[in-house]
Amino acid sequence: MICISISKASQIGTAIGSGAELIELRLDLLGAEPEELYSMVPAGIKTVATCRPGEYDEKERISYLTGAIGLGASYVDVELESSGSYAEVIMKSASIHGCEVIFSHHDFSGTPGRKELKDKLEHCYRRGGAVAKIATHVHNREDLQNLVSLYELPGRKVVLGMGTLGRITRVIGPYLGAEFTFASPGDGQETASGQLSAAQLNDIYKMIDGS
């Protein structure tokens, strides 16, 4: 499944029109209240609620994420490095409303060795993640091999490589058992380095699947 990552409210309609089954609402980038955003998402389309650190303080991020959970978010993303008190509030709200928790780890500078990647993945599950997300910047073939090797381990996961060399991980993830893969609504609308557009991914999958 492709998850289209949304950074502007105007992109929601584009994603829906393209047949999206799952969209990520980047609440830290959208600049709108969850109520406004969820009024634009038809029933039947799943959502990932994400609010990265930076734009809002911890209290504001909790408010945005618990608001999205209460409005029907399918998944909520919690950074692995988050404080225990922050994660506890989000996880309690998610449990009440039947929302699945993704614990995520991002390394924007590079990709650590296989053992450290495995430790990060397992830490996501230990903290209570139903799904673990690992995203690192890929510089070479060894980085790719180490990332992809995580699919040999048990547990629901999304493993992504950032940067140009990481694009292949976004293509092959669903074939290796990824919960889903991320894509942008269109060219120039990426929320992460190396993200392909949903149209590009769909074209690639059609070629691979022979459809």
Give the residue carrying structure tokens 């990709």: 111
Phi, psi values for residue 210, rounded to 5°: 70, 30
Single out the catalytic residue among 106, 118, 123, 139: 106
Single out the catalytic residue among 46, 105, 120, 133: 133
CA dihedral 148, 19, 205, 186 (to 10 degrees): -70
CB 194 within 8 A of CB 168: no
User: Is position 105 annotated as part of the catalytic site?
Assistant: no
User: Is position 59 annotated as part of the catalytic site?
Assistant: no
The strand pair at 100-107 and 131-137 is best described as parallel
d(CA 97, CA 72): 7
| Catalytic residue annotation | 106, 133
